[in-house]
Amino acid sequence: MENGFRGVGRRRLLLIGALTTVLLTGCSTAPILLPPAQQAPAKASGPFEPPQLSVAANEANNLAAAYGAQKRKVDSALMGRAPSGFKAGLTTLAGQQRFGLRGPVAGVLWPDTGLIFNGDITEVNRSSFRKPMLEMELAFKINTLIPEQLADVSEVQYVVSEIMPAVELPDLGFDSEVGITGEAIVAANVGARYYVLGAPLSVDGVDVNAVRARLHHDGKFIERGEATQVMGNQWRALFWMINTLVEQGWVLQPGQVLLTGAMGEMTPLEAGIYEARFSGLGEIRLQVN
C-alpha cells in the first residue's frame, strides 16, 4: 500500500461523497410527506442492549441465506439506530477450515458496545455473556461516506484515517438449530457483543502490516499475534470487508469503526486482568469480573 495519493482513486471517492450528499439532501426544501402506511417507523431511544440471536435451520443453509438472516435480524434490533461499526471474523485459514468455510465473514458492531481504554483499566462482567471470547485486533475509523464498493485496494487509504489497538469480546453463546457452523455464525451476526479500543493514531504514521501483539492474563503470557495473520494483509482485509458490507446493503458512515479480525487465536474470556500490548500502538488493560 502506497502512502502517496493516487489522483484517480481520490477524485473518484470525493465525487462519490459529493453525489451521495446531494442525493441525501434532496433537491427541494419542501418536506416529502408519505402516506401513513409508508412512513418510516420512529427511531428507538435510550441505551441499546445487544440482543441474544438464535438461528433457525433454514437461515443457515448457505452463506446467502445466512447474510440475509443477519441483515433482517440486525435491522430489526437496531430500530433505526446506526451501527457503531462492523467486524470481520474467521480471517485465518485455520478458522475457516474449522467451520467449513472458504473465506472470512462479516458482521455488525452494535451501538453503545464500544468501550474506550482511557489509560487506566477497562472493566467488563462475564455475566453479560453466555460464551465470552477474546481476540486481539486492529481497528480503523472511517472518514467518509462509503455508499458503493471500492474499485481497488489502493482506495482504502482514502476512506480510513485512524488506527487503534483493539480487543474484541465476541459471544458465541447463540442458540442454533444446526450447531455452530460457519453459516450459523454469520446468521448470528458473527457473535458481535462488545469491543475495547485504545488510543487512536493517524494511519499515515503507522506501518500497519508490521504491528505485532502480545496478550497476558494475570501476568502470564498466553497469546501472540501479527497483523499479517489477518488475510495476509490488513489493507486487503479492509478492502474485502468494505465491499462485502456494501454488497449486503450497508452504507458505511464517517466515524464508524472497522475491526479486521483476530491477530492470533480466539481465547475464552476468563475472570482476571488482561493486558494486550501492540507494537507502535500502545496497550489495552481489561479487568474481567
114 Cβ neighbours under 8 A, 6+ residues apart: 84, 85, 194, 195, 196, 197, 257
25 Cβ neighbours under 8 A, 6+ residues apart: none
The CATH code of the domain that includes 136 is 3.90.850.10
Closest CA to 60 of 168, 215, 174: 174
35, part of any domain: no
Domains held by the chain: number: 1
229, part of any domain: yes
184, part of any domain: yes
pTM for this predicted structure: 0.86
Q: What is the pLDDT along the chain (289 residues), one digit of tens a residue?
A: 444 334 445 555 555 554 444 444 444 333 333 333 333 444 555 678 889 899 999 999 999 999 999 999 999 999 999 999 999 999 988 889 989 999 999 999 999 999 999 999 999 999 999 999 999 999 999 999 999 999 999 999 999 999 999 999 999 999 999 999 999 999 999 999 999 999 999 999 999 999 999 999 999 999 999 999 999 999 999 999 999 999 999 999 999 999 999 999 999 999 999 999 999 999 999 999 9
135, part of any domain: yes
283, part of any domain: yes
Closest CA to 110 of 86, 90, 127, 131: 86
34, part of any domain: no
50, part of any domain: no
Torsion over CA: 232, 236, 237, 240 (sign): negative
67, part of any domain: yes
* Domain interval for residue 159: 56-288
Containing 224, the helix (H) or strand (E) segment is: strand 220-226
